[in-house]
Amino acid sequence: MKARLPVTQIRFKHFEPTDKPEHKRIVIACYASGLIKFWHYTSGKCLHTINDPDHSEILTLAVNLENTLFCTTGDDPHVHLYDLETQKKVSTLEPR
């Protein structure tokens, strides 16, 4: 079952004290199944799931210091960039 594959990396989403409560206490997890999940860690609720068809396996995840983008890498040489607010892919970086 694809959803039962392990978590490969987690990152806490940075937040400011003035942020809305729903934007605080979030962990972003990536999975060997290719899923990216946003978890509210105090309630245990999954807030959003990204199932990107370009990703069959995700191995790493990073959030930029400005807290506006996150990127993932996996079982191919591509780096996928996402907008942290909209959770939409904004770019795929490909080696030449």
**Tokens 């079982």 appear where?**
75
CA–CA separation, 80 vs 20, rounded Å?
Answer: 27
pTM: 0.86
In tens, the pLDDT along 33-90 reads: 999 999 999 899 999 999 988 778 999 999 999 989 999 999 899 999 999 989 999 9
Average pLDDT, the chain: 89
The amino acid sitting at 13 is: K
pLDDT at residue 62 in the model: 96
- Radius of gyration (Cα) for the chain, nearest Å? 13
pLDDT at residue 81 in the model: 96
Domains parsed from the chain with CATH numbers: 2-93 (2.40.10.480)
Would you tell me how many other CB atoms lie within 10 Å of the CB of residue 70? Answer: 20
Phi first, then psi: give them for residue 42, nearest 5 degrees: -85, -30
Q: What band does 1 get if pLDDT is binned at 50, 70 and 90? A: very low
Do 39 and 81 contact (CB within 8 A), yes or no? no
